[in-house]
Chains A and B, each alone.
Chain A
Amino acid sequence: MGNESKAMIAFTVNGESAEVAFAPHKMLLEVLREDLGLTGTKHGCELGECGTCTVLLDGTPVLSCLVLGLACAGHDVGTVEGMASAGKLHPLQETFADLGAAQCGYCTPAFLLTAQALLAGNPQPTRDEIKDALAGNLCRCTGYIKIYEAVELAAARMRGESAEPTRESLYGA
Chain B
Amino acid sequence: MARKPSDRRIIGTALRKIDAVAKVTGTTRFADDLAFPRMLYCKLLRATHPHARVVSIDASAARALDGVQAVLTGKDLPIPFGILPVSQDEHALCVDKVRFIGDPVAAVAATSEETATAALDRITVAYEPLRSFDSAEAAVANPEPRIHDYGDSGNLHKLIDLEFGDAAAGIAEGDVVREDLFFFEGNTHLPMEQHAAVAVWSPDGKLTLWSSTQTPHYVHRALAKVLELPPARVRVIATPNGGGFGGKSDPFNHEIAVAKLAMLTGRPVKITLTREEVFYCHRGRHPTLMWVRTGVKKSGAITGMHFRSLLDGGAYGSYGVASTYYTGALQTVTYNIPRYHFQGARAFTNKAPCGPKRGHGTPQPRFALEVHVDKIAEQLGLDPAELRLRTLVPPNSLTANYLRVGSMGLGRCIEKVIAGSEWKKRFRQLPEGRGVGLACSSYISGAGLPIYWNNMPHSGVQLKCDRSGGVTVFCGSTDIGQGSDSILAYIVAEILGIDPFDIAVVTADTDLTPVDLGSYSSRVTLMSGNAALQAAERARQILAVHAAKQLEVPVDRLQFADGRVFDGNDSKRGMSFADAVQAAEAAAGTVGTVGSYTPPRSAGRYRGAGVGPSPAYSYSACVAEVDVDPETGIVRVPTIWIAHDVGRSINAATVIGQVEGSIYMGLGEALMEEMAYRGNRNVVHKIPSLLEYKSPTTLEMCDVITYLVEDPDPNGPFGAKEVGQGPLLPVMPAVANAVYDAVGVRIDEVPITPEKVLKALRRKAKGEAGRVGPESFPDIPWPEPTRVPTPWEGGDGKAVEQVRA
Contact = CB atoms under 8 A, between A and B. Distances in A.
Interface in A115-149: 130-132, 134-146, 148
The 3 closest A-B pairs by CB, nearest first: A40-B26, A104-B481, A105-B23
B275 A100 contact: no
B477 to A, nearest CB: 15
B708 interface: yes
11 contacts: A39-B26, A46-B274, A49-B690, A81-B25, A104-B240, A106-B30, A140-B192, A141-B481, A142-B664, A145-B701, A170-B656
B652 A170 contact: yes
Given A45-B691, A104-B193, 13 more contacts: A42-B193, A43-B32, A44-B192, A49-B691, A50-B690, A89-B24, A105-B28, A109-B26, A140-B191, A141-B243, A143-B704, A146-B660, A170-B14
A143 to B, nearest CB: 3
A99 B653 contact: yes
Contact of B114 (A1, A44, A130): A1
Interface of B: 14, 16-17, 19-30, 32-33, 35, 65-67, 111-112, 114-115, 118, 189-194, 240-245, 274-275, 420, 480-483, 652-657, 659-665, 689-691, 695, 697-699, 701, 703-708
A104 B698 contact: no
Nearest to A82: B26
Contacts of B699: 131-132, 135
B25 A47 contact: no
Contacts of A102: 20, 23-24
Contacts of B14: 165, 170-171
A163 interface: no
Interface string A86-113: 0001001100111110111111110010
Contacts of A108: 23-24, 26
A45 B706 contact: no
A2 interface: yes
A97 B275 CA distance: 28
Nearest to A80: B26
A169 interface: yes
Contacts of B25: 40, 80-81, 83-84, 89, 93
Nearest to B659: A172
Interface residues of A, number: 61
A56 B55 CA distance: 51
Contact of A2 (B114, B192, B661): B114
A80 B659 CA distance: 27
Contacts of B22: 105
Contacts of B242: 42, 104-107
Contacts of A2: 67, 111-112, 114-115
B268 to A, nearest CB: 15
A169 B704 CA distance: 10
A98 B16 contact: yes
A64 interface: no
Contacts of B32: 43
Interface in A19-64: 33-34, 39-47, 49-50, 52
A143 B193 contact: no
Contact of B657 (A39, A106, A132, A142): A142
Given A1-B115, A39-B29, A40-B26, A134 B192 contact: no
A133 B496 CA distance: 44
Nearest to B194: A44
Nearest to B668: A140
Contact of A45 (B240, B654, B660, B690): B690
A43 B90 CA distance: 29
A140 B665 contact: yes
A117 to B, nearest CB: 15
A141 B24 contact: no
Nearest to B275: A45
A97 B16 contact: yes
Nearest to A90: B24
B251 to A, nearest CB: 21
A143 B701 CA distance: 7
Contact of B275 (A46, A134, A142): A46
Contacts of B20: 96-98, 100, 102
Contacts of A134: 698
Contacts of A43: 32, 194
A109 B242 CA distance: 12
Contacts of A80: 24-26
Nearest to B654: A100
B192 A100 contact: no
A93 B706 CA distance: 24
Contacts of B66: 1
Contacts of A137: 698
B16 A104 contact: no
A103 B663 contact: no
Contacts of A173: 420, 705-707
A5 B782 CA distance: 66
Contacts of A130: 698
B192 A42 contact: yes
Given A1-B115, A40-B27, A89-B21, A138 B192 contact: yes
Contacts of A165: 14
A32 to B, nearest CB: 11
A160 B61 CA distance: 65
Contacts of B275: 44-47, 49
Contacts of B703: 145
A141 B112 CA distance: 32
Given A140-B191, A140-B245, A171 B689 contact: no
Contacts of B192: 42, 44, 50, 52, 104, 106-107, 138-140
A132 B698 CA distance: 7
A120 B194 CA distance: 31
A161 B134 CA distance: 59
Nearest to B656: A172
Given A100-B657, A140-B190, A41 B114 contact: no
Nearest to B486: A100
A105 B689 contact: no
Contacts of B660: 142-143, 145-146
Contacts of B191: 104, 106, 140
A45 B32 CA distance: 13
B690 A146 contact: no
Nearest to B119: A1
| Residue of A79, A80, A139 ringed by the most chain B CB atoms within 10 A | A139
A103 B482 contact: yes
Nearest to B662: A143
A83 B240 CA distance: 22
A44 B656 contact: no
Contacts of B655: 172
Contacts of B65: 1
A7 to B, nearest CB: 16
Contacts of A39: 26, 29, 33
Contact of B481 (A84, A105, A171, A172): A105
A71 to B, nearest CB: 20
Contacts of B114: 1-2
A134 to B, nearest CB: 5
Given A39-B29, A45-B689, A173-B706, A112 B24 contact: yes
Nearest to A112: B24
A5 to B, nearest CB: 15
A105 B690 contact: no
Given A143-B661, A170-B653, A171-B708, A104 B480 contact: yes
A46 B274 CA distance: 8
Q: Which of A93, A137, A144 has the most CB of B within 10 A?
A: A144
A80 B191 CA distance: 21
Contact of A47 (B420, B665, B690): B690
Nearest to A1: B115
Contacts of B23: 96-97, 102, 104-105, 108
Among B21, B26, B420, B695: residue with most chain A CB under 10 A = B26
Contacts of A99: 653
A33 B28 CA distance: 14
